[in-house]
A = this chain, B = another copy of it.
């Protein structure tokens, strides 16, 4: 039974609570902190996009197509579908000589309601470029174009790419191998599901996810190519944190403030991972009930407070995410959303 990590109070009463598990590991595989079951495989979802983007860089595709930091950051993103995200994804595809028709992620309205309304007001409807995964998929397409040229089938990238979301496609095999190499978890034995954007997602224990992100933080335990790629992707996101999420999003706001000291990435269903280079740590979180915005973010904020060296102002900034005032439609304070005592102790004990 996983412990309560986040409490939602109304007045002085705990109205709702979120249970979950977390792991904080170093790159040697030592556990720095943990709560709950960190051995059960959980689907990494979009929290592992930086691991999935390693082949894009390590293969040479990023250099071949001259991808910028902004574009590499988008390859690691679950973005808001704002104008800059959409145009950057289109730009990545154009560098590979393709367009949005190459994407197999499907289309959806931006998750943020305000952006949906703005699009509707302009008479727009969403395309695959608005899909929060369009940057990751554009990266897959770039990788696929490089692989197509290497496969010597006349360079018909379009036909080579078709079905790139399927587990057995050469692009996805590269991506899965990167997951296996960084997490040390055997993907052939892992539970497999289909992600929102149609690529496979694998069940991986939090222990192994935290280890993988400690490796991303330090390069220790990675192949030289993956170590260089991880460093380049972390730096790209630190330089273009807007790309990884967008306006008012946790990942963007935290990395705009803390720069290379934190690489954090949300995933669907209450999954969160982070690489913390300062102390060489990796963090992996899963909220049992799958709640992202109000549970996983609170836990990640508490972990950053506990495991990153912050001055008072930065600590205060992060506390704004781990102990949040809740207001109603009239702007009246009705409660708080906060890290549970158990979660605070786990941080303090580290």
Interface positions of A (Cβ within 8 A of B): 1, 8, 10-13, 15-19, 41-43, 104-109, 113, 116-121, 123, 131, 191-198, 201, 203, 269-270, 287-291, 295, 328-332, 334-335
Contact = CB atoms under 8 A, between A and B. Distances in A.
Contact of A11 (B116, B191, B291): B191
Given A10-B43, A270-B16, A290-B16, A131 B191 contact: no
A197 B107 CA distance: 35
Contacts of A117: 109, 116-117, 119-120
Contact of A194 (B11, B108, B290): B11
A329 B194 CA distance: 11
The 7 closest A-B pairs by CB, nearest first: A106-B329, A16-B290, A10-B193, A117-B120, A11-B193, A289-B289, A106-B330
Contacts of A15: 42-43, 193, 269, 290
Given A116-B116, A193-B335, 4 more contacts: A15-B269, A16-B270, A113-B113, A198-B332
Contacts of A43: 10, 13, 15
B193 A13 contact: yes
Given A13-B43, A43-B10, A332-B194, A113 B107 contact: no
A116 B112 CA distance: 12
Contacts of A334: 193-196
Contacts of A1: 1
A331 B106 CA distance: 9
Contacts of A290: 8, 15-16
A289 B18 contact: yes
Contacts of A10: 43, 193-194, 201
A11 B192 contact: yes
Nearest to A120: B117
A335 B131 CA distance: 20
A194 B198 CA distance: 42
A108 B196 contact: no
A196 B335 CA distance: 11
Contacts of A19: 19, 288-289
A342 to B, nearest CB: 14
A336 to B, nearest CB: 11
A330 B121 CA distance: 25
A270 B18 CA distance: 13
Given A11-B191, A120-B118, A328 B269 contact: no
A295 B291 CA distance: 12
Nearest to A131: B329
A118 B117 CA distance: 8
Contact of A104 (B16, B288, B330): B330
5 contacts: A10-B43, A19-B289, A120-B121, A195-B328, A289-B295
